[in-house]
Amino acid sequence: MENQRGECPCVKEPVKKRNNGSKKPQATLSSAKRVKSTSDGRLLHGAKAQVTLPPAVEETELLQRLYNLLKAKGFQTRMEGVALLQDLCKSSPQLISTNIVQIFDYFVLRISDSHKKVKQKALDVLAEITGILKDALNPVIIGLVEGITKSLNSKDPRVRAAVVKALDESIAHLDKVSLLKEFSYQWSQLSGQALLDVAERITVLVEWVYARSPEVVEQDALPVLWSFLENKALPVRSANVRTVATELALALYEVMGTKLKKCAASKPPHVQENLSKMLGW
């Protein structure tokens, strides 16, 4: 597994910009529109003549403004960017959905922002817009899960509450198979309470995912259970470790039945023994 990346600096550009086919912003026309005149100085058009920008140009300029705000140096300006994204998701969800990858290259940096006010605002907004955008967020699940889980160990209760809500909203509205895969991967990169939080979400997803993609549960969720049962020193100190592990074991046994016991047969004796104690075999 790769080591977890450190928190991105607040003004860092996206690591990898994706080309989503958007045109570069065109120069903004002056609000005082130019009008042509005749040779004797008379205006061809009235003083109130307006030049209307094509919708595509207006959208491009709006997106560029959003990007500039989200990557700004000042934390208050970055918060303005988060607020603008929130407004656009409500007023123009199709625009956001169409440009979701490029937008979230910037926004994902804000949900793990070094400034806690920006981070909390971004997480609060993420929880709200997840229910609006829903499946449109599936292309950016990997970045979202990584950004969310980075903040699960926050000591700030408001940030902690915001990140838990964002996590639960993702389970309610996003692709559950993809989520289970990414939760299982991130679990191996986590420590402390975050490790238990993610394990609990994996448990929640097991039944739904197994009914549709049993191989995903066996390949991704089952290794999490084995890690709990191997008696290795997990990077977490909590009396809830055994409870969380038992809940995961029960969820897996509920869907796999005796197949779970067969899978355990290839594991070391102490793993089999621990599993038997948990399930009362």
Please tell us whether the domain made up of 55-174 is placed in CATH 2.60.40.10: no
Q: For 105-124, what is the mean pLDDT?
A: 97
Lowest mean pLDDT among 53-57, 112-116, 198-202: 53-57
Domain ranges of the chain: 55-174, 175-281
Residue with tokens 């409500």: 90
Q: Provide the 3-class DSSP secondary structure of residue 43.
A: strand
- Scanning the chain, the segments in alpha helix (DSSP H) are 55-70, 75-91, 93-98, 100-110, 116-133, 141-150, 157-173, 176-187, 192-212, 214-216, 222-229, 241-256, 258-264, 269-279
Question: How many angstroms separate the CA atoms of 245 and 268, rounded?
Answer: 17
What pLDDT band is residue 235 in, cutting at 50, 70 and 90?
A: confident
Query: Is residue 63 pLDDT above 80, yes or no?
Result: yes
* Residues 166, 130 contacting (CB under 8 angstroms): yes
The DSSP 8-state label assigned to residue 175 in this structure reads: -
Query: Is residue 276 pLDDT above 90, yes or no?
Result: yes
Q: For 1-28, what is the mean pLDDT?
A: 43
What pLDDT band is residue 262 in, cutting at 50, 70 and 90?
A: very high
List, for residues 189-205, the tens digit of each pLDDT value.
999 999 999 999 999 99
The reported pLDDT for the residue numbered 37 is 39
List, for residues 121-131, the tens digit of each pLDDT value.
999 999 999 99
Query: Is residue 16 pLDDT above 80, yes or no?
Result: no
The reported pLDDT for the residue numbered 11 is 42
